[in-house]
Amino acid sequence: MKRSSQDSGSRSIPEDRKLYVVDSINDLNKLNLCPAGSQQLFPLEEKLQDVSTDSGNESHSLFLVGLIIVLIISLALVSFVIFLIVQTENKMEDVSRRLAAEGKDIDDLKKINSIIVKRLNQLDSEQS
């Protein structure tokens, strides 16, 4: 079987990474940041344990602070919505009262109109 060029490319990636790490260590040695005799870096497990315990407490407290902020914002939004509902209800009551009053006025105007039309019809019939 023939292997594609992608297979050979993916095999060289770990080797490139190894070379990069070795070059980085050599560069540190050249800069005297790392003592010449010590090629061993800090154990990764110790670093991860220290970071995980500190970040765990910090992330837990950040989560609680975020949760409290979200709850306060949601409470404010709910209060605002309730306020809007009450205001809308009051406006609707005002509008319905006005419509009811105008409806009575319209009924009164219809009655007056019918009385006038009857009177005019009577006057026309008397003149004819």
Task: Say if residues 25 and 39 touch (Cβ distance below 8 Å).
Answer: yes
- Of 6 and 88, the structure prediction assigns the larger pLDDT to 88
- 48-71 burial, b at 16+ Cβ within 10 Å, e below that, comes to eeeeeeeeeeeeeeeeeeeeeeee
Count of Cβ atoms closer than 10 Å to residue 30 Cβ: 9
Per-residue confidence (pLDDT) for residue 74, from 0 to 100: 97
Work out the percent of the chain whose per-residue pLDDT is above 70. Answer: 60
- Specify the pTM: 0.40
Per-residue confidence (pLDDT) for residue 104, from 0 to 100: 87
